[in-house]
Amino acid sequence: MQLKAQKSIRYVTPVTSNLEDIRHTFPSDNLPAGKSKAPYCRQLLYKNAICQKNGRWITSLMSIPELNDPLALFHNWLHEAEEKEVGDPTAACLATASIDAIPSARMVLLKNADSSGFVFYTNLESRKGDDLSNNPQAALCFHWESLHRQVRIEGSVALVPGGEADQYFSTRPKAVQIGAWASTQSKPLKNRSHLDQRVVEYTAKFGKSTVPRPTHWSGYRVAPERIEFWQQEDFRLHDRVLYVRDGSIWHHKSLFP
């Protein structure tokens, strides 16, 4: 079930209700030419101080709903991205590090996300495959420009079961399946014709028969330990909520932008 995002209502103790006291928040060099600080300060003041109750202001600055399950929030945001994002909403930057702690990053496509983790598929003999075999920790970063949102995920990594990889591989177009055989990913390539020739060879080899999954091609599952949600807000006062796993329980807290 998709959950509708709601504004989180926060109580904060007011520092001041005097407009003059917060004008210093906006340096003049950040304002358009000829503009006064006052309207910008007033906008922030009105945004924060919706009303006052028992000496505390009720604010609606936190636009990220703080749910007990971050996976529910992730799927909610992903669903919105699928409707609005121009590019592929499942694309994420995957960061890994070698055994010598040398980092590298590249884009991958998310193929599944549930309570056990976030799954992507790749050539196991690629650079990321080498990194993950020696240092099975990774980070994923989703960025949806149309929604002004970002999700960061960190955790340990393990191969998906062979049966799960076989099932997914069987759903891929045949030309893509052949490409998994033809490409020795991340290895030196003499020229483009060399790759084309390998595609021709494997196309002839498999003909009209079913293409099996190569043993060097499979999926990885990132088991999340930390998930951070980021929502762009005015004046770079962005909203950030961090979830940290403690066994089967997730604890969450807000972070300064």
**46: confidence class by pLDDT, cuts 50, 70, 90:** very low
Q: Active-site residue 245, yes or no?
A: no
Beta strands, E only, the chain: 10-12, 51-53, 56-59, 91-97, 103-109, 112-114, 117-123, 137-144, 149-159, 217-231, 239-246, 249-254
3-state helix, strand, coil split of the chain in percent (to 5) is: 30, 30, 35
Domain holding 26, by residue range, is 10-59
Residues 40 and 117 in one domain: no
User: What mean pLDDT is reported for the chain?
Assistant: 84
pTM for the model stands at: 0.78
Asked if the structure places residue 196 within a domain, the reply is no
Catalytic residue among 221, 236, 240, 245: 236
Asked if the structure places residue 109 within a domain, the reply is yes
Number of domains in the chain: 2
pLDDT one-digit tens code per residue, 20-41: 444 444 444 454 555 444 444 4
Residues 80 and 48 in one domain: no
Residues 100 and 123 in one domain: yes
pLDDT one-digit tens code per residue, 93-138: 999 999 999 999 999 999 999 999 999 999 999 999 999 999 999 9
Residues found in the chain: 257
Residues 153 and 31 in one domain: no
Residues 142 and 115 in one domain: yes
Asked if the structure places residue 175 within a domain, the reply is no
Cβ neighbours for 83, distance < 8 A, ≥ 6 positions apart: none
Residues 45 and 78 in one domain: no
The better pLDDT of the pair 119, 18 is held by 119
Residues 244 and 130 in one domain: yes
* Tokens found for residue 129: 């495959």
- Give the single-character DSSP code of 69: -
